[in-house]
Amino acid sequence: MDLKKGLRVVILLWVTLGLFGCAWFQTKEEKTAKELAEEGMAAFRDNNYSKTIEVFEKLRDWYPFSEHAILAELRLGDAHYHRKEYEEAISAYEEFERLHPKNESVPYVVYQIGRCYFDRRQVIDRDQGITQKAVESLERLIRSYPDSPFARKAKGHLRICKKSLAEHEFYVGKFYYKAQHYKAALERFKTILTSYPDFGIHYQALQHITLCQTKIENALRVAQ
């Protein structure tokens, strides 16, 4: 009797596991790659970016070799960008470029990487590391894809970034000048002339170069 009960338990477990297994495969395969792509794009058009990410991650993971997986990889970056999840967006875009270096969307992807940095740039009295990364990405786009419409768009963003960098150099130069660190200030003002000569503060930089040089010369005379 105990043996019969044991057999019934084993059979019941097999049936249960079989049902769960079928349900898992049914859940995974109930939508094709095309259907997931259509669902993801519908969510994207509706600005439902969390749903977009959920659907396209499924598409990418379930059908990695589908032609629709390329769309999923690209739109994942876009969805993260619209959610201001810039690090996740950059990661998705960089992965897309790595996997599909010849794809026609690569100029757009490089532009979007630049935009992720551009949109996070800081005011001039803060560290400009993010702005510098934006410059590097935008310049890479212009250099590598000069005929792309995204390269033309990048030029406007690039000018804004370089203006911020120039103003930051001037801000730091004035800080050093007020602190009477004239040599350090002088180097900052000279950087503006060599690296950012056409961004509206050229003449101010020249004036402060003259002031710094006068201060340095006066200090040398006093020391003698």
Q: Tell me 148's DSSP state.
A: S
Average pLDDT over residues 110-137: 97
Residues present in the chain in total: 224
Per-residue confidence (pLDDT) for residue 220, from 0 to 100: 87
Among 172, 207, 177, residue whose Cα is nearest residue 193? 207
Q: How confident is the model at residue 8 (pLDDT cuts 50, 70, 90)?
A: low
**pLDDT for the residue numbered 198:** 87
Q: Where do runs of H (alpha helix) occur along 100-148?
A: 106-118, 129-144
Residue type, 98: R
Please state, rounded to an integer, the average pLDDT across all residues of the chain. 89
- Inter-CA distances, 45 with 41, 105, 206, Å: 6, 19, 51
| Predicted confidence (pLDDT) per residue in 32-80, tens digit | 999 999 999 999 999 999 999 999 999 999 999 999 999 999 999 999 9
State the pTM of this model: 0.82
Is residue 24 scored above 70 in pLDDT?
Answer: no
Higher model confidence: residue 199 or residue 98?
A: 98
Chain segment 86-110, per-residue pLDDT in tens: 999 999 999 999 999 999 999 999 9
Beta strand extents in 30-135 (DSSP E only): none
Residue 11 has pLDDT above 50, yes or no: no
Looking at the chain, the whole-number percentage of residues with pLDDT higher than 70 is 87
Angstrom distances, CA of residue 18 to CA of 7, 14, 23, 129: 16, 6, 9, 56
